[in-house]
A and B are shown apart, each in its own frame.
Chain A
């Protein structure tokens, strides 16, 4: 059962074979996993990069249609790469749909994740179904592109379209921290 969201019927046809896709991840294994999932969707990963520097060089010279990038990488990380791309003035790549992936999102980096200019961030674990759903969603993302106060990217609020699924891990972290803070406050009160 694939149980893809309401945006697309399971029998509907998709054709992603013409999409020029770049995947950036410092883990060769994660790169291969993403590449295999994409291949199943009919997408050949044209550019598989193990670091942001390599990706930047390619982005300067070749047009891509979709960028999947890991958030945490040594050296230039995923956030910095996306921010660079959005500010690069490279047309049309500066406007390319960007999906970021993260095995885990550190609490202090949530603001960076929101502000770097990516279309969507997927926190792992994610299944093939989730990945396809997100790709289809960003392909149809109609939010206007903004350049405001240092931010360049799709409008951060979802007005007419809801985001596909919840940013579950981030929500869980915030909820857990709020509960922990409350529990800590109670413990202090009891000790006093």
Chain B
């Protein structure tokens, strides 16, 4: 293989629950600190211990962050998946394995180089006890890798010291294990390999963060005080991160009392019910969940829409339908989030493409939910939520003031002639709101049953319809308030590439590659629903648009048709939905296939 610096991908195959996550984290961070753009994709099973797990790392000097399925180096440490792992190595690539045991001849490929490191043997000799031997074996491979791909040893040493600052014994064993792997590789192989790292200066303004942590930070900074949830993969870490940030930032310095409440509900129905109750009483409240949770929450989503109660719902999408593959990613909830619950509904949705947007849009979601008095979805996914992404450092504008919407104070109510809860006072479809416990004149009866603009129960056809029509106008008004699409025009291009969320990374890379082949594309990434004029204008301005998304049924295309009435002839669907994050080649082959058909 010819030399390739800072542009390769490798994959580490281990068994779940053996401590490989620490080693993988270490490797990612070390590369990042060398100033080289890096992304990691954790391909893990729905299991606590024993099933196969993989970690994919892509190093790319151009900053492309999409998943690539082409691996130059495989670190195959799980005998149960050897055959599959050997098959995935790119021709001319490398396979590192634990040579404590001989490798079956059937696993030998003539077109790849085998690198045997006796990890188990070395660790058995150096460490005592089964658990420590297994854990250290999984650190030792990081050491071997460091030598093979030329990771900076000083950076690794510094990272290890930071990580185990509080535990001297762990620091010692980790340092020892890393040295074992490193020294063995240096002594036995020509290090570094032709695919290797060299220091760059491309990460100094960036961080490595997952979207769930970032969304939780957004909720903290936006002032959310009530979080209700039911544990579910892949959304669990949103609330775990929220809790740890709140413990850090939200306790009274003297009394240690909490300025937040986290309610672990009995199910997702209750979780959203709690959010609705808390928002009704005036708090900023949210619930993180995944598709199965949204299915259960449909009832309360409809209530919150019709009774006009704010609610922030973070949907970290996973594959469906039903339980699906809980640890794989998809964009399968686009339709459900947009129209959840029975009857006529339509909901504000925000679509982040990476953790930085997850942070910004999470905060934004509270403003929109309160301004429009309606459920608001942060539609993330497992890839954004649980994988480490390299993104610019998060930033917060200290002049931010929460938009609490039209909430009347005791003074407002005292002065007001009348308070009519569902009356369109300002002509924007957004009524005035009062909170319980504030003023007798603010009292009204919140209900999911038919009501008129004064807030009273009704079964009168005209009164009912008047409120329903105003709700439609209200949500339509949100088109200008949601994050606007990112649009990039290419001179002379007549074709459009349109996508949503995390597919952005694959689309950006694909566009560059297609451009080299002479296929010029205009680009749009939608970031908020309902869609506005800009989205429609973009679609109409191109001869044909390719709608790139991660679900079987072309849900984004359907949403665009339903919401904007853009003709289906204008929109060719490009989809990948098998559970991995989308790669550039999915986009390229999809676009080319359609172009050939058209031609």
Question: Are A and B subunits of one complex?
Answer: no
